[in-house]
Structures are given as C-alpha cells and as structure tokens.
Chains A and B, each alone.
Chain A
Amino acid sequence: LAKTTQPISMDSYEGQEVNITCSHNNIATNDYITWYQQFPSQGPRFIIQGYKTKVTNEVASLFIPADRKSSTLSLPRVSLSDTAVYYCLVGFSRDNYGQNFVFGPGTRLSVLP
C-alpha cells in the first residue's frame, strides 16, 4: 500500500533550523520525493525535490538516506513567515497505469517569535 506519513505538527522559534521527516516505506527505485508548502486558502507551493542523498536550493535542503524509506526536509533559520503546512509527496510507480501521487498528511509548522 502506497503511503506517506509525517508528524502532524511542530513548533519552532525564529532563527532555528527545522527538520521535518516523512516516511515512505514502499518507495520504488525510480520514485521521486517532493516537498510542498501550503498557506491557508492557497494551493501547495513546490519547495524541493530529490531522488537520493542530498539536494539543496535557496530555501531548503532535502536529505534522503540510502534506503530511501524516509526523507527529511530541512529549513534553515526559519522566520514567522515560514508558518505553514508542509507536505511530502511521492509519485509511487505502478506497473500498469502511471504513477499514484500520494501526499503525506501534512506537518503544521508554527514559528514563534
């Protein structure tokens, strides 16, 4: 069963580094892991995508261990504006019919002053 899990909520203070982990046990060799940010009443916004090891862009890093059964989104020095819900997404391969795009339940990050 294709499934992704992540913590429901996290609190942090401004200026701290935040790490959010997602579990995706049934990931296949070629499946990508992607993270999105969502603010209230808006559509999810792409943050970062990775396949293995480590990916970094101007806003976040994504760490993926060798077994790829989990991934960690790292947000350096968060600010109040980073308060949002963060989702992991895996496009699970299927033999006969395209990919099944499965979002995690989302992690509600609250950044406190």
Chain B
Amino acid sequence: DSGVTQTPKHLITATGQRVTLRCSPRSGDLSVYWYQQSLDQGLQFLIQYYNGEERAKGNILERFSAQQFPDLHSELNLSSLELGDSALYFCASSVETESTEAFFGQGTRLTVV
C-alpha cells in the first residue's frame, strides 16, 4: 500500500459527459501529480500541484482540469469525454516540490462508451 488513495477505482460513462477523479496523497506529501496511462500513449504526465498551487503542466487537454484543495487532496476533472479518453488515470504524491521519486495510487480506470 503506497498510502495514496484514488476513488473511484472504476468509472464507466458516456461520450460528452463530465467526471471527477479524486486523489488523497500520502500523509505529509505536498505535491500531487496526475498521469494518464493508455495502450497507445503509455504513461503521460498531465499536471502537478504543490501545496495548492499549480506547479507544472504536461500533456493535459484543455477539456481536463485539476485542483488541489487546502487539505491537499486533489481532483481531476474530465469534461466533454471522448472514446479516446478511456484510460487508467494515476495520481502520485511526493514530499518535495519537484521529484521523480513519487508514490502512486492504484489508479482509476475510466471507460467512455
């Protein structure tokens, strides 16, 4: 158990809909990272937050957004969903501002039908 909790574990929704994925980081970790994993694109960095503020952006679509709340949990919002958004979405957390040593959650598997 990495200490990072993601909910829900599975999500099935229709095209055009909007969903919210939730992540609770390890106790004491201030940084949260979101990644998308799909068969054709592999693991792609989406966005990072540190102590409530956006720190870095990767390949995040404009239809996607995220935030980190004062209690440090984070949410990833995906809107106007398309079939191609079906993927595993991982959240990771670390103590440091920028770190490649992070702890990953079990992921949320999103299926868009």
Contacts and interface: CB of A to CB of B under 8 A. Distances in A.
Interface in A9-59: 32-34, 36, 41-46, 49
B90 A89 contact: no
Contacts of B56: 94, 97-101
Nearest to B104: A43
Contacts of B35: 101, 103
A44 B56 CA distance: 20
Give the dominant DSSP class at A's interface: strand
Given A43-B105, A98-B48, A103 B42 contact: yes
B68 to A, nearest CB: 14
Contacts of B107: 41-43
B100 A91 contact: yes
B92 A87 contact: no
Nearest to A98: B56
B43 interface: yes
A49 B100 contact: yes
A103 B105 contact: no
Contacts of A45: 2, 104
Interface centre among B4, B98, B100, B107 (most CB of A within 10 A): B100
Interface size, A (range): 20 to 34
Nearest to A87: B43
A101 B45 contact: yes
Contacts of A99: 48, 56, 98
B101 A43 contact: no
Interface of B: 2, 4, 33, 35, 42-45, 48, 55-58, 90, 92, 98-107
25 contacts: A33-B100, A41-B107, A43-B4, A43-B90, A43-B107, A44-B104, A45-B2, A46-B101, A46-B102, A46-B103, A49-B100, A91-B98, A98-B48, A100-B56, A100-B58, A101-B48, A101-B56, A101-B100, A102-B45, A103-B35, A103-B42, A103-B43, A103-B45, A104-B42, A105-B42
